[in-house]
Amino acid sequence: MYLVRTHLPEATADDVRSGVARVVDAAAQLSHEGFRIRCVDSTYVPCDGWLGCLYEADTSVEVRLATERAVLPFDDIVEVVRYGGTADIYQGEVASK
């Protein structure tokens, strides 16, 4: 999994929605072209102006291509490990109480 971090300090809610829609569309186009990529989720932090888009992909090359096709500026692309919600992490502890 990969996370694209984008700093959009002056973005409006419409700007962010539009950017996310373009990212999802670009990833879907690449998928139809035979690449293994999917935009899984996105999160925007309005007080900081940071947008994070989470992808499932074979390599960061596909992620970079999707982000560039979406014409979304980005600061970096990092590989991440997703653990799920806290219920998943603490399930054993909760069940044993």
Mean pLDDT computed over every residue of the chain: 87
Specify the DSSP element, H or E, that contains 4. Answer: strand 2-7
What's 35's DSSP letter?
-
Q: Which residue has the higher pLDDT, 92 or 83?
A: 83
Average pLDDT over residues 16-32: 95
Neighbours of 70 (CB within 10 A): 23
Query: Which CATH code fits 2-96?
Result: 3.30.70.3090
**E-strand stretches of 1-97:** 2-7, 37-45, 50-57, 76-79
pLDDT, position 97? 37
Q: Are 56 and 16 in contact (CB under 8 A)?
A: no
Global confidence as pTM: 0.81
